[in-house]
């Protein structure tokens, strides 16, 4: 069975809490190169699924013409996943107890 690159990218990016960012970045770049060359439409759907801002991608790709597009996209995926992690931490219950604000 052929590996599902979009799912693999999501799986790798979800390890940001446990693995080093550089290690994850390298894996993402390799996977992104593969998906860019094999199935660009899946990449577009994946970026939508991860919720990476399309305008931001276009802007960064224009600004960083000398950089490999897969590394630019990897950085944006990492940035978005880190934002999600911070958001989950911020809104998770503290010590397993809800605050009065969260109960509301």
Looking at residue 89, what is its pLDDT? 86
8-12, long-range: CB within 8 Å, 24+ apart, which pairs?
9/35, 9/46, 9/50, 9/77, 10/46, 10/49, 10/50
pLDDT at 101 over 80: no
| Band (7; pLDDT cuts 50, 70, 90) | very high
| Band (49; pLDDT cuts 50, 70, 90) | very high
Looking at residue 88, what is its pLDDT? 87
Rounded CA separation 78/95 (Å): 27
| Band (100; pLDDT cuts 50, 70, 90) | low
| Band (13; pLDDT cuts 50, 70, 90) | very high
């Amino acid at each position: 069975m052929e590996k599902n690159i979009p799912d693999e990218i999501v799986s790798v990016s979800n390890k940001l809490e446990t693995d080093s960012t550089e290690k994850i970045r390298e894996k993402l770049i390799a996977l992104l190169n593969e998906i860019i060359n094999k199935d660009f439409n899946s990449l577009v759907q994946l970026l939508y699924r991860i919720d990476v801002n399309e305008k931001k991608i276009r802007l960064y790709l224009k600004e960083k013409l000398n950089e490999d597009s897969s590394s630019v996209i990897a950085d944006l995926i990492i940035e978005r996943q880190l934002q999600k992690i911070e958001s989950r931490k911020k809104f998770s219950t503290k010590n397993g107890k809800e605050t009065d604000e969260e109960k509301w």
